[in-house]
Amino acid sequence: MPSVLQRRTSSSLASIVSVTCAKMSTHAVPLASENGRHALLIREDQSWLAFNERVLSEAENADTPLYERIKFLSIFLSNLDEFFMVKVDPIHRESERLVALESHRTCDDPLPVLRRRLNSEVKRVNSLYEKELLPELADSDVQICTLDTLSARQSNRLRKTFVENILGLLTPLIIDKAHPFPYFENQRCYLLVQLKAKNSPLNTYSYGVVQLPSSCGRFVRLTDKNRSLFVYLEDAIVQNVDQIFPWASVVRSAVIRVTRNRELTLLDDQFDDMLESVEQGLRNKTAKQVVRLETSQRLPVSLKQFLMRHFEIEGSEIFEYNGRLVTQELAQLIPSGPHPNKDPVFHPATTRRLKRMESPFEVIREGDIWMHHPYDSFTDTLHFLEAAASDPRVVSIKQTLYRTGNNSPVASALLRAAEAGKQVVAIIELTARFDEKRNVSWAKKLRQAGATVVFGIEGWKTHCKMTLVVRREGTVLQSYAHVSTGNYNAKTAQIYTDLSLLTANPEITADVATLFNTLTGLPKGAGISSVFSTHFSQRMKVIKVAPFGLREFFAEKIDHEIREARCGKQARIALKLNSLTDPELIAHLYTASCAGVKIELLIRGMCRLQAGVRGVSQNIRVVSVIDRFLEHSRIYCFGTGPKSEVFVGSADFMPRNMNRRVECVWPVQDQKGKEKIQKILNIGLADNVKAHEMQPDGSYARVRKKGRESIQSQSVFIEWAQKRTEQ
């Protein structure tokens, strides 16, 4: 059961009062709802770790193909890296504030609970890798060799490979008074060696450091006729240490890796241009503090203390593996292309209506086109954008870009359109976490091509995904829009599940145009006034936008279902989200549960709501699906039967999505689209193969079939796509 801080929040969520640990067996945050019932609120960091443990469980699942297990383990480790970069430093600050309080109680401090859980995860990873994955790899003709298992011929081949391909990339560094302590880059592996001078009668030792070059990968491949042989890069360096430190022999070695806080500091006071501010913030890497040190094995006490002093960390921030430091680079072992130990090859469907005609615009005018990615190909979206870039009758293209990718065909289409003299407006989110460098690069290229590049409204991230194309048709200007739950990224579109809509609906296209004009024409601070918010909301016909009343919109939809239930009518709320963490909306859902509303939640990641608690959330079910594709689409369904309302959008139920990001949510107005999206939601909720259900104590357990037919939702969607392809 995830342990969490204990607080009491009033119905306005404004006042926080301590609650004694002795009174709470669930270790959760109580929310006092309007009717006085107490509800539980799971800590966000613990919920994040619970999600990542569900990912780890897929790596531990023996029914999952071997290379998919390695993929899930790599994803788990990547997610854990992000957790340390983003979440750990705020938890440290919270702990320090609590310790400073005279009324501090040990059970309030989140750090001990966090450390125990993280150490437990390291043990699970060690056991999985050493006891299951390595033997399975060996059985499948993939051998990861150690130096003592290499034959003389293989050892010679490794030395030759080292001299030809690795040695020139290495820089040996000695740690002593004459050599400053080196800077350890974030999440780069380093070989730390204890050295003893050859032919020296003195028992004196030196420490040396060699960065493992990322261009080599973590594994060195040795060719073999019958099987794939790999050697750890660090072992290759140790074997050839005489080439690097010719004066010494190795006494012991360990791979170490630091993780640094990933807080991007924008220097707003020093730069007038946000582009310059973000670039400087990215350069300022040396200021990032170390929040974790990983080692491949236990270090001598003196060395550990030495590293603690230089990295300014505590012993509890050192995580020791048992022989090998396991990182997300494990994914390098996964062969490209089809393989019996991978998921079957899947070919997405293309929209038949679009295939009929060279230009997509006439087809879109005939009726809305809904796409469910990656089951429906992203090439249909690219076809729309590329047609807009090349069509001489298209006069304007406006697009938001959040995560684009390196060789983005989407951004390339915008470049061609700008170079052709069309009006191109790109709203680029420079501070999209981990994509800042790519977005800065595309911003510069688009500016040089003549596009108008802006960065949204200062202080708010532009998270909505939309494109507006204006085309001259006869004597009128016809608008077309593409709105999506996912990013304009051709690579992630193959592995993320998302929904998108191509439409010429005049209400939606008018709203998209209004939103674009707001993003390009609203200065910092102007949007926070209630007058502007009311004016903006009144102008929008069907699309709902955060931070201009989206939370209030969802609260009203929930309240409507509450009123229906209290009148004895059937009431239902079904949501598909990435995360559910907003306390106010959670309080509304608890109230709805107490009123008798049936609530079904398909939440991939963090969920602070605690389901199945008697008297609070007994009518709420929370399910999380972890499968080959990352669930990313957001669906909001209110009501039952023909009168039910269905919406799709970019917003999760999180404070940041409601308060600090520009999001858009739009209604599903055509009956065919409504039926399709409700079916997608219901099949996801019915999954009993890859689904995990939240228990009343806040933990998760795999959904059991209990004699029912197996339903693996993503496999169902793949079958649908294959049938559409065959027709």
| Catalytic residue of the set 373, 463, 632, 692 | 463
| More confident call, 276 vs 334 | 334
> In whole angstroms, what is the distance from residue 76 CA to residue 60 CA?
11
> In whole angstroms, what is the distance from residue 415 CA to residue 427 CA?
14
Average pLDDT over residues 474-482: 96
Question: Closest Cα to residue 351, out of 509, 480, 501, 224?
Answer: 501
CB burial of 163-195 (b: ≥16 within 10 Å; e: otherwise) equals: eeebeeebebeebeeeeeeeebebbebbbbbbb
Q: 560 and 516, same structural domain?
A: no
Q: 644-668: per-residue pLDDT in tens? A: 999 999 999 999 999 999 999 999 9
pLDDT band at 16 (very low <50, low <70, confident <90, very high): very low
Which SS3 state, helix, strand or coil, does residue 291 take? strand
For the sheet containing 290-295, what is the strand order? Answer: 173-175, 205-211, 189-197, 248-260, 290-295, 318-320
Q: 473 and 369, same structural domain?
A: yes
The answer to whether 503 touches 369, Cβ cutoff 8 Å, is yes
Angle subtended by helix axes 110-127 and 89-100, to nearest 10: 140
Domain presence at residue 320: yes
Q: 690 and 580, same structural domain?
A: yes
Q: 97 and 23, same structural domain?
A: yes
Domain housing 407: 352-530
Please tell me the predicted confidence (pLDDT) of residue 606. 96
pLDDT over 60 at 35, yes or no: no
Encoding tokens for residue 463? 């998270």
| Pairing outcome for strands 173-175 and 205-211 | antiparallel
**Cα–Cα distances in angstroms (integers) from residue 578 to residues 51, 291, 322, 486, 592, in the given order:** 11, 26, 34, 12, 21
Q: 320 and 200, same structural domain?
A: yes
Average pLDDT over residues 586-607: 97
Q: 363 and 316, same structural domain?
A: no
> In whole angstroms, what is the distance from residue 245 CA to residue 175 CA?
13
Question: Domain with 497 in it: what CATH number?
Answer: 3.30.870.10
Domain end point (choices 87, 118, 149) = 118
Question: Closest Cα to residue 602, out of 691, 703, 664?
Answer: 691
Domain presence at residue 344: no
pLDDT band at 526 (very low <50, low <70, confident <90, very high): confident
**Total residues found in the chain within this entry:** 727
pTM of the model: 0.88
Element (H, E) at 41: strand 38-41
Q: 65 and 28, same structural domain?
A: yes
Domain presence at residue 275: no
Q: What are phi and psi of 575, to 5 degrees?
A: -130, 140
> In whole angstroms, what is the distance from residue 251 CA to residue 324 CA?
17
Encoding tokens for residue 363? 């087809």
Domain presence at residue 317: yes
pLDDT band at 533 (very low <50, low <70, confident <90, very high): confident
Average pLDDT over residues 355-384: 90
Q: 566 and 464, same structural domain?
A: no
CB burial of 635-658 (b: ≥16 within 10 Å; e: otherwise) equals: bbbbbeeeeeebbbbbbbbbbbbb
Q: 317 and 222, same structural domain?
A: yes
Domain presence at residue 287: no
pLDDT over 80 at 623, yes or no: yes
Q: 551 and 526, same structural domain?
A: no
Domain end point (choices 466, 499, 530) = 530
Q: 205 and 112, same structural domain?
A: no
pLDDT over 50 at 676, yes or no: yes
Total domains in the fold of the chain: 4
Instruction: Please give the full DSSP string across 491-531, using - where no structure is assigned.
Output: TGGGTEEEEEEEE--HHHHHHHHHHHHHHHH--TTGGGSHH
Residue 463 falls in the annotated catalytic set? yes
> In whole angstroms, what is the distance from residue 450 CA to residue 246 CA?
56
Q: 120-177: per-residue pLDDT in tens? A: 999 999 999 999 999 999 998 888 999 999 999 999 999 999 999 999 999 999 988 7
pLDDT band at 227 (very low <50, low <70, confident <90, very high): confident
For 154, what's the count of Cα atoms within 13 Å in the CB-facing half-sphere? 20
Encoding tokens for residue 282? 């990215």
Please tell me the predicted confidence (pLDDT) of residue 105. 62
**Range scoring the smallest mean pLDDT among 15-19, 72-76, 217-221, 423-427:** 15-19
Q: 470 and 576, same structural domain?
A: no
Average pLDDT over residues 370-386: 94
